[in-house]
Amino acid sequence: QVRLVESGGGLVQAGGSLRLSCAASGRTFSSYAMTWFRQAPGKERQLVAAISGSGVITYYTDSVKGRFTISRDNAKNTVYLRMNSLGPEDTAVYYCAADRSWSIAKTAMAEFWGQGTQVTVSS
């Protein structure tokens, strides 16, 4: 029902910034909470940020608070993750996910997932 496609990943120097985008298909985009996860090699998939369907409520994991900003443009069916002050510890594959449930969207059991986009931060 919902197809998610991430873009915007790449190679960046430490201290730099990237903006990831996740474009969604479907006409009920605003009904879905959207989340960003990341997974580094050998590590568990980690929740990074979440945003409610309206965009009013947001969540960030402690390690990215003050550096990352999640936002959405429901008219464009797109969610964004602006990442500032990047360090090598942020290197991972970043995935967006969607679920009608706020609580489920924040877990690995979210209903819909994108293919992931690689973010590599060099030192």
pLDDT given for residue 26 in this prediction:
81
* Per-residue model confidence as pLDDT tens digits over 76-111: 999 999 999 999 999 999 999 999 999 999 999 999
Q: Residue 1: what pLDDT?
A: 80
- Alpha-helix residue ranges (DSSP H) falling in the chain: 102-105
Which pLDDT score, from 0 to 100, does residue 13 have?
A: 98
pLDDT band at 31 (very low <50, low <70, confident <90, very high): very high
Rounded Cα distance between 57 and 76, Å, is 19
The residue-averaged pLDDT of 49-77 equals 97
- Return the number of other C-beta atoms located less than 10 Å from residue 13's C-beta: 9
Question: Residue 109: exposed, middle, or buried by beta-carbon count in 10 A (0-12, 13-18, 19+)?
Answer: exposed
Residues composing the chain:
123
- pLDDT computed for residue 16 by the predictor: 98
Check whether 27 has a pLDDT greater than 90: no
